[in-house]
Structure 1
Amino acid sequence: MTLVSFVVPAYRVQGYLRECLDSILDQPFTDLEVVAVDDCSPDDSGEIIDEYAARDQRVRAIRLTENVGLGPARNVGLDRAVGEYVWFVDGDDWLAPDCLPAVAERLTGTRPDVLMVDHVRTHWNNAATRSAMRDVFPEPPGEGTFRLRDRPETLRLLHTAWNRVVRRQFLVEHGLRFAPGWYEDVSFSYPVLMAADRIGVLDRVCVNYRQRRVGAITRTRGDRHFEVFPQWHRVFHLMDRWGPAVDELRPAVFERMIWHYLTVLGNGQRIAPELRPAFFAQITADYARWLPPAGYPTPDGVEGLKHRLVATGRWRTFSALRAANRARDAARRSARTAKRRVAPVARRNARRARDVLLREYYRAELHRPVDPTLAVYAAYWYRGYACNPAAIYEAARRLAPQVRGVWIVRRDRVGTLPPGVEYVVAGTAAYYRMLARARWLVNNVNFPDFVRKRPGTVHVQTHHGTPVKVMGLDQQRYPIGAGRMDFAGLLRRVDRWDYSITSNSFSTQMWDRAYPASYTTLEVGYPRNDRLVTATPEEVRRLRADLGIDPTEQVVLYAPTHREHLPNYRPPFDPERFVEALGPSARLLMRSHYFHDRDRRPRRDVRWSRVTDVSAYQRVEDLYLVADVLVTDYSSAMFDYAVLDRPIVVYAPDWEAYRLARGVYFDVTAEPPGAVAMTFPDLLDLFRTGEVWSDAATKARQQFRARFCGLDDGHAAERVVRQVFLGESAAPRQGC
């Protein structure tokens, strides 16, 4: 029999589900199964589950035809599980590496009805908060088992389903299942402990409990938080049925109930002010209804005072106490903030007077009306006319001519703009005026921190590639790659987004996790790739001629990515040897990452007759169109170029170092878009032997294209314009 069945319900967790499943399947323990339940999720959670089930026989996919909620979805998984033990793990949490052998050893060694495991709260800013394990068990709990009546303090451990591994037959025998509604853990977790004859505790962190910035019910305000009351009522009704066997546990359970109610009420993100009196009144009613005859252990200090106010129904006093505590906390925060402001004030005073005046001008312009016809575009930190914003701009000129489009560019890039494109130079008064008054702001990176999100304005984040390397908040786990990034500042910028443009479901999933905020995702394909689909053979011939490429030449484009953690690194690549391996009718185009032009120093002149440095070429899409083969490493270029269905080679000489230091979302060497070379000699051999064009490479490219390029049909920019500028609704997602 399988030892552990993991039940993983999934609903709106597409950005986190892969990490959850990987954390289970990558454990150094194989006697397990994963029962993954798609609770009719409107995102791509179901597709992710199917993907994992197709490649790992330990994963069983269940797709529900209607959304039933977390508790019933867990019940569905429980009914399908075959393991001796069942472990309910939420789809946005993940297991600690290498924890499962220790869990299995304890399960097989003591055969408990329920094994409690430790956890940490992992916050969006990568901070971790320990659990109450050390407070509840100041001394190591040992490897033996016990009944709850012998150690009632166990009730003070967090009442979740995922921090306990439960014997499946024990659940069946006692009919213990999850109830529908929010706070479903309450009416499951406490009865599990009360009914168990053998409880074990493993004081090892096994679960990372993700504290999401958005999307969790603990950060959702509404009246559904009143559902906590019927969940606790179920606990006490069950205790009534069980009778004297659990009577001595009533005081401890009652104390946990009041603690939980006050925790929910005390969280300002859950209960709206107008609902708080009614919530407090229900706490008072439950206090009177379920108070044990012999009383219960009332907490000391302020918490004890709260309990006494609940008992007497004194809402006004309770509310005043809370207001006083909040005022005290606010005063402390203000004092800390004042100290932190000293250095920024000094820096501001040191700025040039012109910059100060321009910022004041910007603030003044914010008081003028938003221009209902103005759209501002930018790309790559004002480097010029490029990428997705350029494609959207062109589509808007055609489909929404009433919208005036203005580009922001650096002064040294003005000459690269196409004729007829209206622009302002970054840093000028016109620049600040446009940013202050534009209705639409479109960029493939973030606008500066000083830019304010005005009511009625629309910020469109187009991004500039499908991510291989980790981005956003995920970089916190890779400090070498993150450098000195201000993650709090990043989130303030992300909060300005109204729309996030993605080219495939994989990008959508990764951005959900990397940039958690309340924007709307437009999964429509990449506008910049429209040109790759619609370009005519005549246009390609013209582009090749403009670049001095003979029609008979075979063109290879080499486009490596940037290594933020190794600013002076260049992949080992000898252009002269490479073109020799290609043969006499080949041409090599070399393009550095756009980061490399920020210092604007002259580049080394490439003098070989069949090697051309195209790093300064404005539109990379032109280079894709003229190239017959792409050689890259971890660059998003592979996803765009795959639209053309031409050979791609992954040249990854520093893959292991890059993966460990910078962090990646998937293994480009295991799921490549074509042939793979790990050394430069291997790269030469791929071309000499023809492996670049082999059946295996072609099959890999087809699979890659099916996964990442399905939406790039030449109409992505049009879809963005119709929804963002014209207000037309997107087609509804298929499914429940």
Structure 2
Amino acid sequence: MPRFSVIVPAFRVQAYLHACLDSVLAQSFKDHEVIVVDDCSPDACGPIADEYARRDHRVTALHLPRNTGLGPARNAGMARAAGDYLVFLDGDDTLLPDALQSIADRIDATGEPDVLMYDYARTYWTGRSVRNVLGSYLDEDGPARFRLTERPELLRLLMVVWNKAYRRAFVEAEGFAFPPGYYEDTPWTYPVLMSAGSIAVLDAVCVSYRQRRRGNILSTTSEKHFDVFDQYDRVFAFIDSRPELALWRPVIFRRMLDHFSALYASPDRLPLHRRAAFFRRATAACRRHHTPGAPAPRRALLRHGLLRLGARRTYRVLSVAQRLGGRLRAGAAAVRRTVRGAALRTHYRVQRLLPLRPRDAVFATRGGRGYTGGPAAIEARVRELVPGARTAWICRPADAHTVPGGTRRLAPGTFAHWTALARSAYLVNDGAFDRGLVKRRGQTVVQTHEGTPLRTEGTDLLDRPAAAGSTDFEELLRDVDAWDFALSANPHSTLVQERAYPSAYTTLEYGAPRNDVYHRTGPADVARLREALGVPEDAVALLYAPVPRDYRRIQRPALDLERLLQVLGPRFVVLNRAPRPAGPGVRAPHPRIIDVSAHRSVETTALASDALITDYASLMFDYVNLDRPVVLHLEDVEAYEAARGTYFDVTAFPPGIVARSQDELLDVFTTDHWRGSHAARLRAAFRARFCPYDDGYAAERVVRRVFLKETDGLPVPYAARRTPAALPAQDGAGAGVQG
């Protein structure tokens, strides 16, 4: 008996069936069978199924004598299924790599639920892939298994059969089967979810849902869309046959009204001469199944009421008015944006004709954040070392308070912002300036970069679409071509960055200005930082700073911080830079977990901590300047490498002890290995390789070379001059944390 029976109905999908079946057979999880149901397809689906059945014993090809439709074809596949769980996949869709392994692992972890729901991404004919916008409903926090009554919001997800795995014994015991006709998923998914004794969720994309340019059945103009009325009649008949499900009647009634409204509003579903008949059938179904009680959005209440009353003409007038009003509002907003945008562009062009201001310099960080990072370190040195310099900082108004008093504040997208970009002789950023920037002759652009590269970046992401996301590589290279100087902290960074960001700029391998603060901060300042963050005086503060996962929509820390604190005891606190989940059902934060996820300065949180726990964050390269312990928590090395990739194997050359699981991490701390002699040797070797020039004077070297045009007599990096910021004197558990 295989673990999974993957049922693939096939009708007129010959162009996609190879990819579909290959995606199943290439899964790393091999304990499955594939049942391809040729629904008397007039194309080559049948021969393709036979070909795969001959090549692989796990494939069974069923040929139906006549075309029955998607529902009966799936029934035929279920009749032959022998797996513990049923998985349905349409013939033009595909499974993502390792999808079955992820599904199997989650089923085991949640105690074999009746239904496991997982996520999907829409893949368009252009190649663009977009994850389900409601994927947040699949958050795995909370009970591993539950009834639908505990998470009714799951009914808002797309009611299709192929985003779930079903325990076959449950399906057979309940006698579930697909009806004929369009929208056959409706009378399957609602009854299945309402009846399931246990449901679990998997927050991972497992299916690539192909959005065909043409030929999708449900997007075809046809009278078969009238089948939707019979399908909802079946759902309500199921509810009526089971009194315990009566509480779902109002919810399904509202869902039905939404479904009818969407079909009627769609311009390509119903034949024009049948639209009035569809509305009448919809009204009759509403009256037949009317069940008040479920809440509905205010905008939908009037539409639903008119549908129930059969007021088709009023419904049409309302729809036209809503569309017209929306277009007028959107049009007015667009006009305002266009006029302002044209004025800004004209202003910028005029400013570019005026002379440059040789003493002016503009600084910014990626995303318009506050005063922080490499640009901030350089800006401070410019004001100190360059006579007559006038500096400005681009940031969001909410972060303007972080900018020093002697520096002008510029809000993005204002006339002052564009004036500064047009007239300033120096432009310094760790990201990219506005895409409308045109570099002038005589302007100098300095790219500081955000950190030493461990994770794949720049043009090296071209062959990693999951990590690249919406990156516009042509725009990226236009930005790179504007650089005059790019900063590098070490030879590794130089080699990676010159390949990942190819152009004719000059690399300044001077160290990282953002790390100067780690050598220029005294114990008293560190004590004040700890107090400001709420770290108790004698506590050991562990900074937890994981990186986001490109292969997950909802980011959840892999580490159970409360369990860690329970084991370590009351002397420990955690400075948590992992985003904290929000919404109903989220527990209050633990009193010894200090949320610093929104703190603008990672340098501040690093200085305030006794040790760092991270995974793939470039912060590890900077943190070793403090000569404080680093522990790597790497549970998903294989998955992370597949999605994002790294430039070297950090497990082979780590900055400290590596833990492959939470239990290992707990053992590292309870045995004190995290701050032992072996950890210190690893940290020293890592610091020697990646921080050879970090001595507190990197920003000064940059300012003297770029702003003062000095090429001789620059402060020479000198390791013996390093004075890492010391922690305040502590007794007991905190003593001796710093190496």
TM-score, normalisation: structure 1: 0.50
